[in-house]
Amino acid sequence: MYELVQAGERSWYIESPAKIGIVQLNDGSVCLIDSGLDKEAGKRALKILDSRKWQLRAVVNTHSHADHIGGNRLLQERTSCPVFTTSIEGAFTFHPILEPALVYGGFPPAPLRSKFLLAQPSSVREITDPAFPRELQVIPLPGHWFDMIGVRSPDGTVFLADALASEAALAKYRIAFIYDFGAYLSTLDEVEKLDAPCFVPSHAPATADIGPLVRVNRSAVTALLDRITALCGVGPFGFEEILQRLFDEFGLSLDFTQYALAGSTVRSALAFLADAGRVEPLFRSNRLLWRARPDQASIPGV
Amino acid at position 148, single letter: M
Which of left, alpha, beta for 161 (phi over 0: left; psi -120 to 50: alpha)?
Answer: left
- E-assigned strand segments in the chain: 3-8, 11-15, 20-24, 30-33, 56-60, 83-85, 125-126, 137-140, 149-152, 158-161, 199-201, 237-238, 279-284, 287-292
Res 7: pLDDT? 98
pLDDT > 90? residue 296: no
- How far, in Å, CA of 99 to CA of 92, rounded? 7
Residue 299 has pLDDT above 50, yes or no: no
User: What are the strands, taking DSSP E only, across 77-179?
Assistant: 83-85, 125-126, 137-140, 149-152, 158-161
What's the pLDDT at 198?
98
Residue 12 pLDDT grade (very low, low, confident, very high; cuts 50, 70, 90):
very high
State residue 297's pLDDT score.
Answer: 52
The per-residue pLDDT of the chain, averaged, comes to 96
How deeply is 297 buried, as exposed, middle or buried, from its count of CB atoms within 10 A (0-12, 13-18, 19+)? middle
Domains of the chain: 3-163 (3.60.15.10), 220-296 (1.10.10.10)
The per-residue pLDDT for range 212-260, each reduced to its tens digit, is 999 999 999 999 999 999 999 998 999 999 999 999 999 999 999 999 9
pTM of this structure? 0.95
Mean pLDDT of 64-82: 98
For 31-62, how does the pLDDT look when each residue is reduced to its tens digit (9 = 90+)?
Answer: 999 999 999 999 999 999 999 999 999 999 99
